[in-house]
Structure 1
Amino acid sequence: MRDPLAGLADVPWRQLHHVDGVAADVPDRLRMLRSDSLDTRSVALTWLSRVPGSSSGAAVAGFLVALVDDPATPDREALVSLLHDVAFWDVSLPVPEDFEPDEAFQAAAKHVDSYVAWLADPLLAAQAAEMLAYFPVSQPVVDALLASAAPASANLTLGYLTGYPSVDTHLMTALESPSRDVRMTAAVALAFRLGADLPGNALDLLVDESPPPAPPGWDRSMRGFVTLALRRVGL
């Protein structure tokens, strides 16, 4: 596999910045993410929290995607979390119509194919599904979400989509899942999509079942999602 950090030297890091100054030190921290030492990787990951919101974010985003794409990279779940912070530091869901993406968001948007591929990886699927909620989707992306290895997280993302009738059919079936996480997220997603037309069995789930924890990658609690869903229904 191609070196995920190939091209580091081609980036004009001295012309970029993070919160502490010139970004000339970023390449070494990215290399540290491949270290055999957990302590070294942890130091690098903590240090790279300086990047979100800075001019170096767009350059870092592409390398983080390449690192996660390589199965030999350690701590890939943590790198997806960092990528999320870099790409979406100034936007929340649902993405406002008047949102003006910065360069880091635009850089992350170039790698939707990678996020779709991560949906099949049980370690990455939940966070990947959440990230896909920020971007326009196509039928192949919807199909991948329907088959995700993290169905509860995928359900929440499906709730933010418009159109695609197969999604409603999928979510209606998921209401009968033996998994409380899948049932609840399906009910939330249907409420987001259907509003006052939400079927009674989905409404019963929202009202009667105790919310589970939110899937990995989602900042809002499941109780918060249920509250938003009930407002969407008109309650």
Structure 2
Amino acid sequence: MLDITDLSVSYKGIEAVRGATLSVPGGGITCLIGRNGAGKSSLVNALAGLVKPSGGRIVLDGKDLSRAGAATRSRAGIALVPESRRVYGSLSALENIWLGARGNKREAEERLASIIELFPAIERFQDRGGNQLSGGEQQMVAIARALMCDPKVLVLDEPSLGLAPIVVKAVLGGIEQLALRGQAILLIEQNGRAALRISQHAYAMARGEIHSLDHQSPEFNERELQALYL
């Protein structure tokens, strides 16, 4: 579904991402884990078209988006839930979610009903203002808004950041259920253990470089992984 090949990102001559290559299959969760400063956010911003890469290719469902802008990539099917969530405080939770809607009203309403099945708590706070929501509630709204555009690949940048453990469990549980429905997901996380538990495919990033992980192998060494990436 999504193939990133030899991607590089530089800022003022400093290479934040070096020759990154990873693939996201058409369904399930692919995680990218790594410490703060590893280059994960730079990769995400390049993937979403928010920064211009210095090299490499980004191909979605056979379409080369390497030179496309952010709006074109969004229309092609890449939906980003940013680390900052970007929920509008002056709008209600439900109004924030509807901002992502595409297609006709009936299709959007059906999509919203399906999303609320994943995150039923949304019904409880749907009329509350965005600036009155907790961090976990804002995260659910941000994910729901991205899903309203029916993306081919959902990119989640640090969805557990700053959330209480019980809220992280609810958010990651919803993401896991979404993957079971066939949604392709790229999960970017510092919380490596939680991400690995729910992911079918995994990569780790350190110092701007990506390494594939065979995390489901009985020979997988979590202690070594922790020393390098967590």
TM-score (norm 1): 0.27
Higher percent of residues as helix: 1
With a CA cutoff of 8 Å and minimum separation of 6, indicate the structure with the bigger relative contact order: 2
- Structure with greater Cα Rg: 1
Q: Give the alignment's TM-score, normalised by structure 2.
A: 0.28
